[in-house]
Amino acid sequence: MQPKLSFDRSSGWLRVKESKKKKIFDFSSEYLNFLNACKTERESVDFIKKEAEKKGFRNINGSRKLKSGDKVFYESNSKNIFLAVVGQPKINVVVSHLDSPRLDLKPLPLIEESGIAFLKTHYYGGIKKYQWLNIPLEMRGVVMSKGKKINVSIGEKDDLYFTITDLLPHLSQKQMEKKASEFVEGEDLNMIFGNMPSDSKKKVKESMLSLLNKKYGMIEEDFVSAELELVPAFKAKDLGLDRSMMGGYAHDDRSCSYALLRAVLDSSKPKPTSIALFVDKEEIGSEGNTSAGSMHFVNFLEMLKEKCSWKERINEILISGESISADVTSAFDPFKKDVFDVNNSNELSKGVSIEKYNGSGGKYYGNDASAEFFYRIRSLANKNKVIWQTGEIGKVDIGGGGTVAVFLAKLGINVIDAGIPVLGMHSPFEVISKLDLYETYRLYRVFLNEQ
Ligand code: MN
Ligand code: MN
């Protein structure tokens, strides 16, 4: 047979049967449930741990000896979690991140201005600040008070929203002349919290403190150590009349995280040891002890090696290992052609994007997978009929970005980026294709199981 000469860039929907479309749609609706339940990294860790326990994963700290087929998890600070299914001392690792851009509260956030109580915020990750104005927000996170941890979640489920208001157009002549980056200052991202004094002697701020004390037992000082996040309150849903896409907050990177979770839960007795890492702090450069930049992964490997009685040294295990950095990438925006190279862009519904390298400018600060390793991954995808595409984040001189791939590369393990193209990335309502989510799950599943 004549080989197909050109790279297939047709829509993935034209390459799947009706029966598979149903699988894609079912998988997507399960994903939407996850996305709506988990709006912070902590909630995601809890969800992942519960699902893993249901499938027989146990805490590695409670396991003395491990053998092939055993399933373990390792959690740290309630903010990152690793899952492993034990096989040979050859590791196949996929890493995604659970944190997403958002508005955190400042240490002392509660203020009052002209009879309105506000909570002051400090944004986390790369956001376009103006996108966070006049949208429904909810508050989630944890407060430490009187020696106890209190989980806070106020919003949609309580029939209640918060918001940050923008100026009315009638008075915005000057504001509209500003550059988008200066349109709203970080110090102006103040969320409306309350407006009703409890009696004529009390200021609204005091009334809000009493309310917080009644509801959570907290005092103002407890804000200082709290981790409270403002996240979009609207629900993630199907998008488009044909329901081929999904819109929601935090597809970056919970879409890849969910694909990875399902892939590792489907691993039964993999030939290699399959490992799923769900890390925190990617959006701020992978600093901190819950990030991919910390020693946690190596510590976890040490534990596995000891409990599995592997003879190989850690550096040998790392060098013979293989890994995928499971993060989203940019999808081509047809109305912003000036920033994309149309021939080297990812497009919605053309499958999981496998990218040889990332970084910015002259490939600075990026990972670059070897020709040999990329060939192994694309051969694996082709053999399993995974629909995949490739691209660059944008035009060479325009910008760029990195993923946690660089942190795995530092350990000596082969690593390549593979994930889901996103439109409107880092906005409060990002868009992905259902088909791309499903093909990403399929790639991670075969990678974790089949080499
Ligand atoms: Mn990401
Ligand atoms: Mn991101």
Domain of 413, CATH number, reads 3.40.630.10
Q: How far apart are the first and last CA of the chain?
A: 28
Q: Which ligand is nearest to the CA of 426?
A: 2
Shared domain check, 53 and 127: no
Residues in the chain with pLDDT values less than 70 = 451
Shared domain check, 388 and 312: yes
Read off the pLDDT of residues 267-287 as tens digits, 9 standing for 90 and up: 877 789 999 999 999 999 999
The tokens describing 339, both together, are 């920033």
Shared domain check, 440 and 293: yes
Ligand 2 mean position, distance from CA 97 (Å): 9
Shared domain check, 256 and 228: no
Q: At what angle do helices 434-449 and 18-37 cross, to 10 degrees?
A: 90
Question: What is the CATH number for 138?
Answer: 2.30.250.10
The tokens describing 178, both together, are 């500003």
Residues 6+ apart with CB under 8 A from 307: 60, 63, 64, 65, 66
Shared domain check, 342 and 201: no
Shared domain check, 340 and 408: yes
Tokens 């994309």 belong to 340
Print the SS3 string covering 76-102.
ECCCEEEEEECCEEEEEEEEEECCCCE
pTM of the predicted model as reported, rounded to 2 decimal places = 0.97
Shared domain check, 153 and 277: no
- Provide the number of structural domains found in the chain: 2
Ligand 2 mean position, distance from CA 252 (Å): 6
Shared domain check, 334 and 287: yes
By C-alpha distance, which of 52, 62, 54 is closest to 307?
Answer: 62
pLDDT of residue 181: 86
pLDDT of residue 451: 65
pLDDT of residue 450: 79
CA dist 196 and 194 (Å) reads 6
In a domain, 138, yes or no: yes
> 405 near 226, Cβ under 8 Å?
no
Q: Final residue of a domain: which of 232, 267, 299? A: 232
**Domain extent at residue 108:** 102-232
What stretches of 258-335 adopt beta strand conformation (E)? 272-279, 322-325, 329-330
Shared domain check, 366 and 418: yes
Ligand 2 mean position, distance from CA 102 (Å): 11
Read off the pLDDT of residues 151-187 as tens digits, 9 standing for 90 and up: 999 999 999 999 999 999 999 999 999 998 888 999 9
pLDDT of residue 321: 96
Shared domain check, 410 and 263: yes
In a domain, 6, yes or no: no
Shared domain check, 315 and 389: yes
Ligand 1 mean position, distance from CA 327 (Å): 5
Ligand 2 mean position, distance from CA 441 (Å): 19
Ligand 2 mean position, distance from CA 332 (Å): 16
Q: Which ligand is nearest to the CA of 98?
A: 1
In a domain, 395, yes or no: yes
10 phi, psi to nearest 5 deg: -80, 165
